[in-house]
Amino acid sequence: MVQINNLDHSKVNFGSRVKLIDLNSDELINYIILGTYETNPSKNIGDEIELKINKTTLEYEIIDITNSKVG
């Protein structure tokens, strides 16, 4: 079992809660990272990312990264 409290959450990591802002709509979105396979832990707050899903491109800016464990 992975102990997410022992991981660095100053960057995206397994167990991180990531808060994004949609640069097109200014909507705040929260994600919990369930695994590191699809993430790039070298990215940091302030980075802008593009997600291409079918013919749609979504743009976000990472504004916060924290440990997802509450309490």
60: containing domain: 4-67
CB 9 within 8 A of CB 66: yes
Q: Give the number of domains in the chain.
A: 1
The strand order across the sheet containing 16-22 reads: 28-32, 16-22, 56-67, 48-53
For the entire predicted model, the pTM comes to 0.52
From first to last of the 71 residues of the chain, give the pLDDT tens digit: 567 788 888 888 888 888 999 888 999 988 887 654 444 555 557 778 888 888 989 898 888 887 766 54
User: What stretch of H or E contains 57?
Assistant: strand 56-67
- CATH code for position 55: 3.10.50
